[in-house]
Amino acid sequence: MPAYGQYCPVARALEVVGDRWSLLIVREVLFGGRRFNEIERGLPGISRSLLSQRLQLLERGGVLERRVREEGRVPEYALTAAGRDLHGLIGALRDWGGRWAFDDPRPEELDPAWLLSSMSRRYRRGAVPRRMVLEFRLRGGRRSHVWLLLHPRSGSEVCLKHPGFEADLLITAETRALFKVWLGRLSRAEAERRGLLRMEGAADIRRAFPEWFEWPSLPPSRGAAVGGSPAAARG
């Protein structure tokens, strides 16, 4: 971001992380995004060239580092000490946004691929005894069928096509409701009671499921600073 010409720590901070997308990129890496395509998946709408340019700016800004661990392996991005220290700033943004700008999802935000990338990023490694396949059948979003693979050791994977394994847990839901449940704006019980979400699978798996993720915790809304679409208010 061009300089502000002020010897002020707020202005200086914004020069480094104030560019459009930059803090969202940091958010991705903060939650474990390491590879280029992985980071990109968490930022639908960004172009590859812009992501590439922003990553370079953040590297020059001392916020992250690009590393090629071994000859021939893919590059990985990691936060520096300064970058990790941005967690407080991201937290402040999340708190404020949750309180004042986080009403119901807008239709164009209902992208299941993004939701799953977000869940995948918050998967607790090793929380699962064996490979688990979660199947999502969704209504009212930009995609109706997605899968999430949880590996016991390595990590998790988003699949937009049938992964070839049978599902251990089938989640059928209104996309809007699934988003709200994930982001703590609607309880699972309430969603199930209202027929907006249903989970099928072995009882122990259904019971254990919530433990597999670190659910985002948000402050309660204190009124919309910005209004959402009126249609969004329903549910």
Partner DNA sequence: CAGTATCCTCGAGGATACTG
Cβ-contact 96, 127 below 8 angstroms: no
State the minimum distance, in angstroms, from the CB of residue 61 to DNA. 14
Pick from DNA, a copy of itself, none: which does 8 bind, CB < 5 to 8 A by kind?
Answer: a copy of itself
CB-nearer residue toward DNA: 149 or 196: 149
Q: How far apart (Å, rounded) are the C-alpha atoms in residues 147 and 167?
A: 8
Cβ-contact 100, 220 below 8 angstroms: no
Please report whether residue 72 would count as binding DNA according to CB under 7 A.
no
Catalog residues that contact a copy of itself under the rule CB under 8 A.
Answer: 1, 3-18, 20, 23-24, 27, 44-45, 60-63, 80-82, 85-86, 88-102, 105-106, 108-111, 114-115, 118, 179, 183, 218, 222-226
CB-nearer residue toward a copy of itself: 16 or 170: 16
Longest dimension (CA), the chain: 61
Please report whether residue 46 would count as binding DNA according to CB under 7 A.
yes
Please report whether residue 154 would count as binding DNA according to CB under 7 A.
no
Q: Which amino acid is at 88?
A: G
Please report whether residue 160 would count as binding DNA according to CB under 7 A.
no
Alpha-helix residue ranges (DSSP H) falling in the chain: 9-17, 22-30, 36-41, 48-60, 81-84, 87-100, 112-121, 175-182, 188-193, 203-208
Please report whether residue 36 would count as binding DNA according to CB under 7 A.
yes
Please report whether residue 60 would count as binding DNA according to CB under 7 A.
no
Among the listed ranges 3-11, 44-52, 149-157, 217-225, the one in contact with DNA (CB under 7 A) is 44-52
CA separation, residue 228 to residues 138, 199, 210 (Å): 22, 29, 29
Bridge-based pairing state of the strands 197-201 and 169-174:
antiparallel
> What residues line the site for DNA (CB under 7 A)?
2, 19-20, 35-38, 46-50, 52-53, 55-56, 66, 74-75, 77
